[in-house]
């Protein structure tokens, strides 16, 4: 193995001279780049070459940032969804309450003396519950003897007749609906003045109109109102609207079904009419020329006595 001896003399510039040269060269390059943009093309070329390396170096940090942002966004979205769900439920409850209040206000306004087409004297009552008898549909109201309520007073809502007070307590009263079998209301057709008796069917919330001749002028859609001849219901209260008329020549009477106009199961507030009904006229006395025996006349008088 051949080994050359170290040079006896060191050739070339000294380190200080090289440092000075490269420093002056760097300063001149910066001045030329600053003044004349001499290295702009070189800079652009280097940026193109270095860009992939920069992206590769920044990829781990960007991936970690995206992962952290994803989880933080998920947590934020879950919290916002919970808050929005709670607000939706709160607003839904408020909207339902506002609808109920609006409906009740409209119902109450319909029964006020200024807008009601019924008698002006009355007491507003709230429906507290249904009657305890499962075979009879009755309403329990929060007004009783202390408010001057008496048995026999009619009960209405904003649309028509609901029923009649049949039992009165100190602070409550019981109303039997017009759709019950033991309830009958003298009615009259608004179209032609035809009188009849509306009787509750006791089933499916309908009203029957019995003993109407087949030849009676009555059609679907006719409106029945109280005739006022019974001394209980004032005249003109809407009772029901005819929904079905069956006429068969083989029978003497037609089968007529009507739907009550009042919301017997709908409203929370009703009105009890407290105005006294006008007294019925006394029956005519026996005439002097009546040739019937006295026993028959007394019996007829006893039948006419209230």
Per residue of the chain (306 residues), what is the pLDDT tens digit?
556 656 555 566 778 888 888 888 888 878 877 777 767 777 777 777 777 887 788 788 788 888 888 878 888 888 888 888 887 777 776 676 666 566 666 666 666 654 444 555 788 888 888 766 666 778 889 899 998 899 989 988 878 888 999 999 999 999 989 988 878 999 989 888 899 999 998 877 889 999 898 888 999 999 999 988 887 888 888 899 999 999 888 888 999 999 998 876 777 788 888 877 655 566 666 554 555 555 454 444 444 443
Q: Is the pTM of this model over 0.75?
A: no
In sequence order, which residues have a C-beta less than 8 Å from that of residue 185 and are 6 or more positions away? 161, 178, 197, 198, 226, 230, 233, 239
Please state the separation of Cα 75 from the chain's center in Å: 36
Backbone angles phi, psi at 233, to 5 degrees: -95, 130
Q: List Cβ neighbours of 262 (8 Å cut-off, separation of 6 or more).
A: 156, 157, 159, 160, 161, 162, 178, 238
Under a CB-based contact definition with an 8 Å cutoff, are residues 230 and 193 in contact?
A: no
Using a 10 angstrom Cβ sphere, with 0-12 exposed, 13-18 middle and 19 or more buried, the burial of residue 247 is middle
Distances from the Cα of 98 to the Cα of 52, 101, 103, 107, 136, angstroms: 63, 5, 9, 14, 33
Spatial CA neighbour of 147 closest among 132, 168, 127: 168
Rounded CA separation 187/230 (Å): 10
Q: Say how far apart CA 58 and CA 47 lie, in whole Å.
A: 15
CATH of domain 122-273: 2.40.10.340
Give the domain ranges of the chain: 21-110, 122-273
Measured CA to CA, the distance from residue 174 to residue 140 in angstroms comes to 5
């Amino acid at each position: 193995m051949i080994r050359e001896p170290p040079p006896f003399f060191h050739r070339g510039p000294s380190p200080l001279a090289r440092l000075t040269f490269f420093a002056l060269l760097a300063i001149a390059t910066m001045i030329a780049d600053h003044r004349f943009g001499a290295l702009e093309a070189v800079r652009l070329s280097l940026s193109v070459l270095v860009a992939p390396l920069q992206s590769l170096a920044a990829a781990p940090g960007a991936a970690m940032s995206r992962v952290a942002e994803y989880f933080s966004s998920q947590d934020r979205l879950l919290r916002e969804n919970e808050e929005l769900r709670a607000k939706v439920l709160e607003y839904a409850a408020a909207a339902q309450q506002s609808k109920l209040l609006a409906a009740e206000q409209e119902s109450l306004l319909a029964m006020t003396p200024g807008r009601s087409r019924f008698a002006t004297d009355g007491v507003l009552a709230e429906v507290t519950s249904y009657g305890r008898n499962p075979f009879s549909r009755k309403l329990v109201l929060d007004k009783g003897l202390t408010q001057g309520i008496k048995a026999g007073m009619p009960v209405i809502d904003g649309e028509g007749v609901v029923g009649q007070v049949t039992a009165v307590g100190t602070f409550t009263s019981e109303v039997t609906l017009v759709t019950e079998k033991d309830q009958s209301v003298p009615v009259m057709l608004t179209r032609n003045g035809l009188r009849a008796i509306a009787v509750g069917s006791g089933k499916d919330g309908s009203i029957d109109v019995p003993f109407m001749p087949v030849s009676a002028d009555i059609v679907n859609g006719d409106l029945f109102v109280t005739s006022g001849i019974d001394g209980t219901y004032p005249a003109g209260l809407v009772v029901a609207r005819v929904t079905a008329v069956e006429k068969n020549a083989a029978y003497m009477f037609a089968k007529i079904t009507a739907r009550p106009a009042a919301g017997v199961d709908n409203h929370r507030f009703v009105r009890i009419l407290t105005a006294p009904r006008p007294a019925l006229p006394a029956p005519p006395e026996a005439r002097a020329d009546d040739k019937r025996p006295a026993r028959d006349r007394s019996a007829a008088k006893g039948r006419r006595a209230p």
